């Protein structure tokens, strides 16, 4: 007897990681999307450039909600060009106070040449103490691996790829179909 997805099952399956090292900033994301115990897709693209291409972003959570947030972030970046933090704070304000946006279930990591930030639906705009951040179901595993690799000889992209590989071996909601976006950092 087969089972069908119940309303209690939710979409899972994201690891997003950012690493800043050696004049580069990288955001990497895996491609797995699951519903309950079933892998629905293995090659989802959860990392992309936004705005004029000077900002990269990755999302964890509901896909439709994340696309809504990408669109809202692009609008804020148009209003506040070259002011990532300000655009993110304005988005976080809307996310927290707007009745429709409040229901969105997603988190984002965004980065430009100067800063990396995590945005949450509770109104948080967080900056890391160090050069790495991770979100999503495998985010803590990727974050721990990246921190361990940060002082070694690997560059930002190699650290992100290695850390994502480690997370994929630990988290059942993370796979090794990794998409990486890179920017020059200051």
Which residues are identified as catalytic?
Answer: 14
Torsion of the alpha carbons at 38, 133, 100 and 61, rounded to the nearest 10: 0
CA atoms within 13 Å, Cβ hemisphere of 33: 13
Collapse the DSSP code of 156 into the 3-class scheme (helix H, G, I; strand E, B; otherwise coil) and give the result: helix
Task: With residue 95 as reference, give the H or E element that holds it.
Answer: helix 84-97
Q: What's the CA gap between 132 and 156, in Å, rounded?
A: 10
């Amino acid at each position: 007897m087969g089972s069908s997805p119940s309303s209690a099952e939710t979409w899972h399956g994201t690891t997003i990681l950012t690493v800043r090292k050696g004049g580069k900033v990288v955001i990497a994301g895996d491609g797995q999307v699951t519903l309950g115990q079933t892998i629905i897709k293995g090659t989802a693209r959860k990392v992309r450039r936004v705005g004029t291409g000077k900002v990269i972003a990755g999302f964890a959570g509901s896909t439709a909600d994340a696309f809504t947030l990408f669109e809202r972030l692009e609008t804020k970046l148009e209003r506040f060009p070259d002011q990532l933090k300000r655009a993110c704070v304005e988005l976080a304000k809307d996310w927290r106070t707007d009745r429709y946006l409040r229901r969105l279930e997603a988190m984002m990591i965004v980065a430009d040449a100067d800063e990396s930030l995590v945005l949450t639906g509770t109104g948080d705009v967080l900056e890391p103490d160090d050069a790495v951040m991770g979100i999503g179901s495998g985010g803590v595993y990727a974050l721990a691996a990246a921190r361990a690799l940060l002082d070694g000889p690997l560059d930002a992209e190699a650290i992100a790829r290695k850390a994502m590989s480690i997370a994929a071996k630990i988290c059942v909601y993370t796979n090794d179909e990794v998409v990486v976006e890179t920017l020059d950092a200051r």
